[in-house]
Structure 1
Amino acid sequence: MMSVKAQYIPKEKRKDTASTKTVKRKLFNKFHTIKLKKRRQLTIIKPIVYCDTLIMEDESIIKISPNLSSFTLYAGYVKIGKNCLISSKGMNGQDGTHTHINGQWGKNAIPLKLYLNIYALGNLSIDARGGNGGQGFVPGIYGAGGDVNLQYYSSTAVTFRKSRKSRKSKGTISVRTKSGSMNYGRLNELVANSPTARNKIYDPQTKQLKVQMHSSTIQGHPFNRDRRNPQILATQSDTERQLRKDGKFKFKRKQEIIQPSDVKVK
């Protein structure tokens, strides 16, 4: 006769076990297969994506929706062709217009966490730069660069670069995480409240600043609806600008194939 020992599990622990299994199902059992043909583009709108297969043919692009606050990608099998791109770049701010003469702020880039098992690699660019500030009477400030955290497994050597100049080299990944650009000289003029700044007006047609004969922050823009004090706005913008930094890039090569359970999701 076979004897069987049973262990009593309290209800609260049983619930925890069930909920844990449910979470794992939601995270790990919904795998996608992404295959991008040559020069095709895919925009991803989900914050977390698990792929059993990720194939990017030459010059294909994956863009991350600007509406996301972060993005995590796991791919069990990765094959990447030549000049491919994964971009979470921040959106550029719009230039000033006749009715709104101040430039819009550039958006921050979206932070990336990538877990890739790479089996073939041409060259891949990862663009997590901040968006550029728009031109205007008060220029828009740039967006911050996004952090990129890459964990990868590969049976062949992978070379990392900071620019795309060597994009034709096989087996390379270039990563850009800098903040965007802006007209900092103009912003500095306004913050300093210099006469040079006060004697300029913004031309929305040419997107250039030009000198006027008399000092006024609003004259020359009869249709402008943005009546905020330019110096105060510039000072507030410069305070925010100083908080917007370049992103950081970290990578780690794994000795064994990365499993879905290795993905860290906050």
Structure 2
Amino acid sequence: MTLKVGIAGFGTIGAVVAARLHEGLPGLTLAAICSGRQDVAEARARDLGLAVPIVSPADLAERCDIIVECAPTAAFMAIAEPALAAGRILVTVSGAAILDHPEITDRARDGGGQIILATGALLGLDAVRAAAEGQIHSVRMVTRKPPRSLRTAKHVVENGIALDSLSEPLLLFRGTAREGARAFPSNVNVAAALGLAGIGADRTELEIWADPTKTRNTHRIDVESNSARLGLEIENIPTDENPGTGRITALSMIAALRGITTPLRVGT
């Protein structure tokens, strides 16, 4: 059986996922696209050689078995609610939006749907989830990004923080993962995912640095538990189109999609 996939949000991430589906993923086919900018989406679809309709979130939920959500954070609920009400699988990287709308898991349960939070931009979450089945004592994450990757972040813009002329690392935020996800909703979805996988976003410590010595978006996590001590670091190469998003993010969604239909799934 071939499952129909719809993509909501057709920017940096969505276009890469669509192109891979067009090339071919076993058991999956691209059926429709949803975008807040239909003219841009139509032009991009033509460039990629995609002959699929551009539809509304409600139509996407009606047409497709799987919805890949990679739209701006503000559009999350408009996409997620009809998809889950229709019993669809929702694949997303919007950990921050899930923290802001915890009721969405009830919507999934009530509608018979499922939410898959793709987490390839942060390593070690299988081990964190396993440790959470025992007792985790502490979780700490330090994010360091080149200033250009944080230039448009909500917290930076609202506080008028100048990043272009930094000569040394600048601490922008220290607090919980939940607080960080609210201040940087499009920049630290990985922190939200870490909180959801481990001891919760309110007990997960987070620091965010604008670091001119970095050329990659870097995340370091340290976990102390009664089963293991974890010390893990990942350096994600930024995309050219949107430096705040790493190239591995779209690949994470593709891997999540592949895992839905593969006969062998590696990882918990």
TM-score, length of structure 1 as denominator length:
0.22
Please identify the structure whose Cα radius of gyration is greater.
1
Bigger proportion of residues as helix: 2
Higher relative contact order (CA 8 A, sep 6+): 2
TM-score, length of structure 2 as denominator length:
0.22
Bigger proportion of residues as strand: 1
